[in-house]
Amino acid sequence: MPLPMSLGSWAVHIGVLLADQPGERRVALVPDVVKKLVAAGHHVTVAPSAGEAAGFPDDTYREAGAEIGVPSDVDLVAVIELPTSGTVPGRAVLGMLRPFDQPEAMTALAATGVTAWAFEAVPRTTRAQSIDALSSQATVAGYQAVLEGAVASDRFFPMLTTAAGTIRPAAVLVLGAGVAGLQAIATARRLGAVVSAFDVRAAAGEQVESLGAKFVTLEVPAQDAAEAGGYAKEVADDEQQRILDGLAPIVAQSDVVITTAAIPGRPAPLLIETRTVEAMRPGSVIVDLAAATGGNCAATVPGETVSHNGVTIIGATDLMARVSADASRMYSRNVSSFLALVTAADGSFDPAVDDDIVIDSMICRDGSVVHSRLLEQ
């Protein structure tokens, strides 16, 4: 086992765990990034087989200069999600901890005395973009959702004029034009589908059109999301109904619907009712990216693919894990960009640095939960 190039008191010792959620195939650090960290003087311990499912066998980590072994008492544990045990073998942890979905788990985590940063709490500022794991993983999800939808669809996406007749292009509808939605639009357009999209945020229209898709306007006031940190807010009940009714006929005419609408810390907004699903052509497909937070479609079963009246409804929550190699690559960059913030000038680990990103994203520290939003609740 090669020794890390330098192991002075100032290096950060990083641990990478093997994800233990079912279906999870990603790894928090890929060998390429490990190599850079090691070159920068850090020490990385990678749990055996941690990268296996993402296509990075242990040997590739060894070559990158990591130590293979079960991390324990490291400075910082990098994870995809919080291990099912709810604890981490180190002084600090960084990952997509889902703090606002599982506040109790955070309280329990805090009790272990660990310092925890959640990517979900990283502010959406310009400078924080390279740390924005939610964006990087939503990109993956948006892309994969279209592929899954296309595979499940009984129709071609592109138009095809052939000796055996002309096949009209598939109609794809994307609901929610955030990071994942835009990527879904781009991917579906690439495949040749006729794409339309809807979102409640005012800025979304131009962005949708900048990808060559049609923006669906319903008679609901567009939100100015600037105040909400770029995120959408829940809509009023009467607006909600108008959205449901407005979307229904468009959904019914679509061959594939990709739903991505989300409101941070809230259950996903309902956009497709069961009766709308029933109005769809048998053979059409709904991919519900919001399944994990309840789904945008009433017929969605999170984690499963179901058929309702001939319509396939994909509620998979592990879409990002399916593009394991590239999703892990992007995630690793997010992790290492964050790490740069908590590394002091002398190279040592400095969890208390005065940086708004580090402070804002901190969930718990010194035994107690510190994030304002969790404290409010």
Ligand X SMILES: NC(=O)c1ccc[n+]([C@@H]2O[C@H](COP(=O)([O-])OP(=O)(O)OC[C@H]3O[C@@H](n4cnc5c(N)ncnc54)[C@H](O)[C@@H]3O)[C@@H](O)[C@H]2O)c1
Choice between 59 and 356, CB closer to ligand X: 356
The residues with which 368 forms a beta bridge, in sequence order, are 365
Choice between 22 and 310, CB closer to its own copies: 310
- Identify what 283 binds: another protein, ligand X, ligand NAP, none; CB under 5 to 8 Å per kind: none
Reference 311, options 76, 123, 153, 85; nearest CA is: 153
Tell me which of 129, 241, 372, 377 is the catalytic residue: 129
Rg (CA), the chain: 22
Interaction between residue 36 and its own copies (CB under 8 A): no
Interface pick for its own copies out of 45, 139, 254, 293 (rule CB under 8 A) = 139
Interaction between residue 126 and ligand NAP (CB under 6 A): yes
Interaction between residue 165 and its own copies (CB under 8 A): yes
CB of 338: closest distance to another protein in angstroms? 14
Reference 298, options 320, 279, 276; nearest CA is: 276
Q: 75 φ, ψ to 5°?
A: -70, -50
Q: Does residue 62 carry a catalytic annotation?
A: no
Tell me which of 25, 26, 75, 132 is the catalytic residue: 132
Interaction between residue 166 and ligand NAP (CB under 6 A): no
E strand intervals along the chain: 13-16, 43-46, 67-68, 74-78, 90-95, 115-118, 160-162, 165-167, 171-175, 194-198, 214-215, 256-259, 285-288, 305-308, 311-314, 362-365, 368-369
**Binding to ligand X (CB under 6 A): which residues in 142-201?**
175-181, 198-201
**Binding to its own copies (CB under 8 A): which residues in 116-135?**
129-130, 132-133, 135
Choice between 45 and 334, CB closer to ligand X: 334
Tell me which of 25, 26, 98, 135 is the catalytic residue: 135
Tell me which of 49, 59, 124, 366 is the catalytic residue: 124
Q: Does residue 366 carry a catalytic annotation?
A: no
CB of 194: closest distance to ligand X in angstroms? 20
HSE-up of residue 72 (Cα within 13 Å, Cβ side): 2
Q: Which residues contact 16 (CB under 8 A, 6 or more apart)?
A: 27, 28, 29, 34, 44, 45, 46, 47, 50, 51, 66, 71, 77, 78
Tell me which of 231, 242, 281, 350 is the catalytic residue: 231
HSE-up of residue 83 (Cα within 13 Å, Cβ side): 16
Find tokens 């449901």 and name the residue: 244
Which positions lie near ligand X, rule CB under 6 A? 124-126, 129, 132, 134-135, 138, 175-181, 198-201, 204, 230-232, 235, 243, 260-264, 269, 271
- By annotation, the residues acting in catalysis are 124, 129, 132, 135, 231
